[in-house]
Structure 1
Amino acid sequence: MSPKARRLPAEQRREQLLDVVTRIVLDEGFGAVSIDRVAREAGIARTVVYAQFGNLEGMLTALVDQAAARAVGQVSAVIPELPVTRDPDVLLVDAVRSFTMLVRDHPRLWRLVLFPVEGAPPIVRRRVAEGRAAVFALLEPLVEWGVQARGGPEGIDTELLARGLLTMGEDAARIVLADPERFSPDRIATFTATLLGAFGRPE
Structure 2
Amino acid sequence: MTVQKKSAGVWQIAPPHPATPPRRRNAPRLPPDERRTQLLDAALRVVGRDGLAQLTMQSVAKEAGVAKPVLYALYPTAPELVAALLRREHARGMAQVLGAMPTDLRRADPDAEFIGAAMGFLEAVYADPMRWRLILVHADGAPSDYREVLTAARDQLLARCIELLAVGIRVRGGPEDADIELIGTAMLGFIEVLGRMVLSNRQQFPPERLRSTVRALLRTIPRASDSTAPVASEDSA
TM-score (norm 2): 0.77
C-alpha distance in 2 between matches for 1:151 and 1:51: 59
Q: Structure 1's 2 and 11: CA in aligned 2 closer, same or farther, altered over 3 A? A: farther
Look up the SS of the partner of 1:113 in the other structure: helix
Q: Distance in 2 between matches of 1:185 and 1:46?
A: 40
The reply to whether residue 88 of structure 1 matches residue 110 of structure 2 is yes
- Segment of structure 1 superposing worse, 98-107 or 125-134: 125-134
Give the alignment partner of residue 115 of structure 1, picking from 130, 137, 141. Answer: 137
Residue 29 to residue 199, structure 1, CA distance change in 2 (3 Å): closer
Pair 170,199 (structure 1): closer, same or farther in 2 beyond 3 Å? closer
The residue number in structure 2 matching 1:57 is 79
Match of 1:161 in 2: 183
Residue matched to 2:25: 2
Counterpart for residue 17 of structure 2:
none
8 Å contact kept, 1:74–1:102: yes
Give yes or no for contact 1:151–1:201 (8 Å, CA) kept in 2.
Answer: yes
Coordinate RMSD, CA, aligned: 2.0
Partner of 1:185: 207
Deviation at 1:55, TM superposition (A): 2.2
Gaps of 5+ in 2: 1-23, 227-237
Does the residue aligned with 2:174 lie in a helix, a strand or coil?
coil
User: Which is helix-richer, 1 or 2?
Assistant: 1
Higher RCO (CA-CA < 8 Å; seq separation 6+): 1
8 Å contact kept, 1:28–1:118: no
- Specify the alignment match of 1:148 in structure 2: 170
Letter aligned with residue 165 of structure 2: V
Secondary structure of residue in 2 paired with 1:7: coil
2:58 matched to 1:36? yes
Distance 1:141 1:39, change over 3 A: same
Q: Is 1:61–1:123's contact at 8 Å kept on the other side of the alignment?
A: no
TM-score by length of 1: 0.89
Q: 2:39 touches 2:60 (CA, 8 Å); kept in 1?
A: yes
* Farther off after superposition, 22-31 or 162-171: 22-31
Give, in angstroms, the shift of residue 32 of structure 1: 2.1
Instruction: Indicate which of 16, 33, 41 corresponds to 2:38.
Output: 16
Output the amino acid matched with 2:194: A
Q: What is the CA–CA distance in structure 1 between the aligned matches of 2:197 and 2:57, rounded to whole Å?
A: 33
Q: Which has the higher strand share?
A: 2
Identity value in percent: 33
Instruction: Report the Cα distance in structure 1 between the residues aligned to 2:81 and 2:209, rounded to whole angstroms.
Output: 38
The count of corresponding residues between Structure 1 and Structure 2 is 202
Return the offset for 1:64.
Answer: 0.9
Query: How far does residue 50 in structure 1 lie from its aligned partner after superposition?
Result: 2.1
| 1:111 alignment partner, SS class | helix
